[in-house]
Structure 1
Amino acid sequence: MLQTTLSLGEIGALIGLLALAGCGSGFLAGLLGVGGGIVVVPALFQVLTAFDVPLDLRMHIAVGTSLGSIVPTSIISLRAHHKRGGVDWQLLRQWAPWIALGVIGGSVIASDVRGSTLTLIFAVMSLIVASYLAIGRADYHLTDKLPGTPIKQLICLFIGGVSAMMGIGGGSLSVPTMTLCSYPIRRAVATASAIGLIIAVPGTLTFIVTGLNEAGLPFGSLGFVNIIAVLALVPSSLIFAPIGAKVAHTLPQIVLRRCFAGFLLLTSLRMFYSLL
């Protein structure tokens, strides 16, 4: 993926590693509505590190490629949740334009900041959300309903912008936001799968455009999106996304919250470690 001098064994190991990350990505996309970026970004970051991609480019490529892999995964996850009647389409019609606008803004900002800054944003936001889900009471709510204008628009801009900068599908931010407003977590997870698609499409396109003239990109890259990595990630993620969605509708809500918190915490700690 990154050089033209890789041996067949190295290529096989690389594809196998990315396929394994795709399994986790797809399963989490269905289970938690997070788009899988919470697994893909750290995995890609480590792969890029192993192949000596310049430090300032690693996080940009990891985030852009993650968003690219989220597009098909979110579609499959969304279909699985829709079949079970879990997606709130009315809410999506209200949130989608503002989330998309936030994604474009966040992607443009991300393309201009240092890679270490993106890594820090990823680590801090993951830790905040993980702490809330792990420690916060499941029955604690800030309000008894989702906010209206203009708070709604500000929340959507924040979710879209930060998710694009982290390379995630939005569930990491939208699910806690909705549950804090007394929204059922299973419905939040299902709706987040659609939010992931709204984030991934404009985010991928923006990372492609902003990275087109960047020097030092690895082989197979289109802007900050590495097409070869996307092709290695997607097949296994598509297989595991419906499995995750099925599990999401059978697990107790408290277990779902703890699973979400655990994955976010591990990811946050790993990204903090990479900064040291």
Structure 2
Amino acid sequence: MNFAALLDPFLIAELAALGLGTGFLAGLLGIGGGMLMVPFITVIMSQRGVPADLAVKMAIATSMATIIFTSVSSVRAHHKRGAVRWDIVQRLAPGIVVGSLAGSLGVFALLKGTALAIFFALFVGFSATQMFLDKKPKPTRQMPGTGGQLAAGGTIGFISGLVGAGGGFISVPFMTWCNVAIHNAVATSAALGFPIAVANVLGYVLSGQSVQGLPAGAFGYIWLPALVVIAACSVLTAPLGAKAAHSLPVKKLKRVFASILYLLAAYMLWKGLRG
């Protein structure tokens, strides 16, 4: 893929549509766009001659990079409402940074893209089931001490780094299980998305420097054209999705979206097994 190909209007249109769609759904359903972005970016890159193994890795890394931008606007909105539990953020963030770097700088670089595709498929399938059933964990305890939150943060950051997601499907259930009110858990998870994204992106960039055969526009494992277009478009539609959430049947939409996630998980599983 050369630089001239990056200016292809069809490519820009594809990425813009993906950004607009994921931004709207993130605002509407309160989920990050990683689960949608990774399969579609994988398809887009594969169609342009990027080997499947590399396409999966770059899709995961690029998806995570977009969270840096989307999390900032989300956190500002939640903070204005006083919903972010900054005390929890302070305790989870150090573990998140360590776990993220261990995942993105270490394990991510060592694993083949096909293995990551299979892991992604299993994670998305599990997350889709949670969304479809709309099950919420019963709050049975309080947040653990500093050591426990450090370990929890490490787990959240590590898994997020392997699937290119912001960690909300892990951190929100964990916090609500620990008696954190759901609106605080969602807001705090949004705030945690920033250190998750920054630490993982740093790992993706460093671990990708020695990789051979990267396509034009690559910065480590980050594909800059997709990052720029998707981030710019998703920021535009996320507020529209949040507004629509107050008038649309979100529970029913979640089940429809979960069904779509099953299809995307099946595609990524096929991609991994085929590779």
Root mean square deviation, CA, Å: 2.6
Is contact 2:42–2:56 with CA below 8 Å preserved after alignment? yes
Residue equivalent to 1:135 = 133
Deviations 1:232-273 (A, max 9, x none): 111111112223344557778856864774554343233223
Q: Closer, same or farther in 2 for the Cα pair 1:258/1:150, shift >3 Å? A: farther
* Paired residue type of 2:186: V
Residue equivalent to 2:152 = 155
Give the alignment's TM-score, normalised by structure 1: 0.87
* Distance in 2 separating the partners of 1:136 and 1:74: 24
Give yes or no for the alignment of 1:200 onto 2:232. Answer: no
Residue equivalent to 1:116 = 114
Among residues 22, 39, 44, which one is paired with 1:42 in the alignment? 39
Identity %: 38
Q: Closer, same or farther in 2 for the Cα pair 1:28/1:92, shift >3 Å? A: farther
Residue equivalent to 1:234 = 231
* Paired residue type of 1:52: G
* Distance in 2 separating the partners of 1:255 and 1:178: 24
Q: What stretches of structure 2 of length at least 5 have no aligned partner?
A: none
* Distance in 1 separating the partners of 2:82 and 2:237: 20
Residue 3 of structure 1: how far off its partner (Å): 2.7
Aligned residues: 272
Q: Closer, same or farther in 2 for the Cα pair 1:270/1:42, shift >3 Å? A: same
Deviations 1:96-152 (A, max 9, x none): 1111111111102101110011111111112122223433644x4262433335433
Residue equivalent to 1:6 = 5
* Paired residue type of 1:121: F
Residue 30 of structure 1: how far off its partner (Å): 3.3
Q: What stretches of structure 1 of length at least 5 have no aligned partner?
A: none
* Distance in 1 separating the partners of 2:141 and 2:259: 27
* Distance in 2 separating the partners of 1:78 and 1:37: 17
Is contact 1:27–1:243 with CA below 8 Å preserved after alignment? yes
Give yes or no for the alignment of 1:91 onto 2:92. Answer: no
* Paired residue type of 2:217: G
Deviations 1:82-107 (A, max 9, x none): 22332222211111111111111110
Among residues 55, 60, 63, which one is paired with 1:63 in the alignment? 60
* Distance in 2 separating the partners of 1:241 and 1:78: 13
Give the alignment's TM-score, normalised by structure 2: 0.87
Give yes or no for the alignment of 1:104 onto 2:101. Answer: yes
Is contact 1:36–1:168 with CA below 8 Å preserved after alignment? yes
